[in-house]
Amino acid sequence: MADFSAGYTEGQDQNAPSQEKRLLDVLGRMRNNMAGVYAVHLHLSDLRPSHRQPHFLRMVSRSLDSLAATQDIQVFNFTNSDVALICRNTPVDEVDDAVFRVRAMFNEDPLTLSEDGSTEDRFSSWYDLSQPTDIKDFMEAVTEALKHREEVKNQASESMTTGRASKVMSGTPLTPDMLQGITQKLLEVRVGDLVHRQPAVVVTAGRKQELAFREHFISMEDLRQRIAPEVNIFSSNWLFQFLSQTIDARVLEVLSRLDFTDMDAPISVNLNLSTIMSRPFQNFHALVGDQTKNVIIEIQIIDVFSDMSAYAFARDWLQSQGYSVLIDGLNPLTLCFFDPSSLAADYIKITWGPEVSGGVGTEQTKQIREVVANLPDGGVVLSRVDSEEGVSWGLDLGIRCFQGHFIDKVVAAMASKGII
């Protein structure tokens, strides 16, 4: 679908009511009608820092939003990483199952070691809001979260005053009213020149490099400058998700012009799960014909967790047609508490970053090595590799496929020597 390295953020409009304030307003309006209402507070702020990374929290949010779509449940994501659910006349078993799935995502974290639902459970707290004592306790917890929110907001204001505000936060926040116009412009503008290619290489015996595939992606910041330079199209995750389906269609339109019978290596493209069974993809599929072996479909892990049944259907169909499936958006530390081999994909992609550049500990290294060993040789791609250190780290763990700016330089050198 896109390159999120420049532009994507979970940031919210700082002028909009906070999730904590919204929750307090909801409780105030409901106070005289609390029959059948209960709340669940997930204490994700108490997870280890390595488990509070944004992509893990997005998995949680997507999982709970899927439940809220079928039940009378409101989900509130606090600034401190906690999540609260307000449930009205919702079967407790269904919510308990959803909380259990979230707990399972972090099953290696000490916070989850207490027994689920026990009086000593530190992962979640449940409140019967028809009981005055529970209402009081829950509102105190929300108020504490709001205080944290205000502290973070004040720190952000100070940062902006001193000129340290992030570039990706600039521009008018995207709103539903803007979406139709921006989507229409996206359908009309030229995008072919914005589609970039980045190679991935496999390191074979003797540290020889071979081209594995070329990923095709749109630089989102370049696209923003073309379609809506004054708008922060990344300010709303859900509105951007809708827009990204149109981006997928335009990327597929560009890729349809390729000659799939004359390629030195497969191509890969990152798509929304919903795009795979859409008409634009079916048109692309018809043009690829019997050359599907030359195409790798990348799917974000948060998309997978948002609808596992849809993922399983799409994966099985893609593989039956000859495509390869790659799961993107993982982190080396993810592998310490989640075995991606259970997703039955052909590849997984994990991101090299500063949090592991100095090592991740003996036990975690052992777990990562075991996960890599359980996947096909060359089936793990280490991306965002910007130095030889990343390659050495990966090779030590059994990883053989690499992608990133350092790899771009390696491939350029190979091309200059006529190796590829």
pLDDT tens-place string over residues 371-416: 888 888 889 999 999 888 888 888 988 899 999 999 998 888 877 7
At residue 120, the pLDDT reads 65
Q: What average pLDDT does range 126-131 have in this prediction?
A: 93
Report d(CA 233, CA 239) in Å as an integer.
Answer: 8
Predicted confidence (pLDDT) at residue 191 exceeds the cutoff of 70? yes
| pTM of structure | 0.64
Predicted confidence (pLDDT) at residue 60 exceeds the cutoff of 90? no
Question: What DSSP string describes 10-27?
Answer: ----TTSPPHHHHHHHHH
Predicted confidence (pLDDT) at residue 184 exceeds the cutoff of 70? yes
Q: CA torsion, points 102, 104, 106, 111, in degrees to nearest 10?
A: 90
At residue 164, the pLDDT reads 34
Q: CA torsion, points 246, 249, 250, 254, in degrees to nearest 10?
A: 170
One-letter identity of residue 29:
R
pLDDT tens-place string over residues 307-360: 888 999 999 999 999 999 999 988 776 666 667 888 999 999 988 865 555 555
CATH 3.20.20.450 boundaries in the chain = 173-416
At residue 283, the pLDDT reads 95
pLDDT tens-place string over residues 261-311: 989 899 999 999 999 989 999 999 999 999 999 999 999 888 888 788 899
The mean pLDDT of the chain is 82
CATH 3.30.70 boundaries in the chain = 19-161
Cα Rg, the chain, nearest whole Å: 23
At residue 296, the pLDDT reads 97
At residue 122, the pLDDT reads 87
At residue 170, the pLDDT reads 67
What is the CATH code of the structural domain delimited by 19-161? 3.30.70
Range picked from 196-200, 203-207, 218-222 for highest mean pLDDT: 196-200
Of the CATH numbers 3.20.20.140, 3.40.50.980, 3.20.20.450, 3.20.20.70, which one belongs to the domain with range 173-416? 3.20.20.450
More confident residue, 268 or 420: 268
Edge-to-edge strand order for the sheet containing 73-77?
73-77, 83-88, 37-42, 124-128
Split at pLDDT 50, 70, 90, the class of 363 is low
